[in-house]
Structure 1
């Protein structure tokens, strides 16, 4: 994975919330995803762009 593409601007993280639960997201650097603990969803980041669609999110299993 290209390091340039996997970085997310910290300022952007402060602005983004989960579209389903409207809660704060955390950045998972290893999987290159934004995590919503409340909704148990992981939103992918593609080419440095967070894909904030519930239909594109991965369900997080326990």
Structure 2
């Protein structure tokens, strides 16, 4: 079970397109520079990712 979860977690970033990765990096950089709107977007993205991981892990 742990092995499957680890493999799943490693595969998740591979599902992102180059454009999605670039957008993620731009938002992260803007948040670090103090852009509060970007920080809000980063928080929402992380919360959604955590929820997806929790649902996926619950399925195992």
Q: Higher strand proportion, which one? A: 1
Tell me the TM-score normalized by structure 1. 0.29
Tell me the TM-score normalized by structure 2. 0.29
Greater RCO, 1 or 2 (C-alpha within 8 Å, sep 6+): 2
Larger radius of gyration: 2
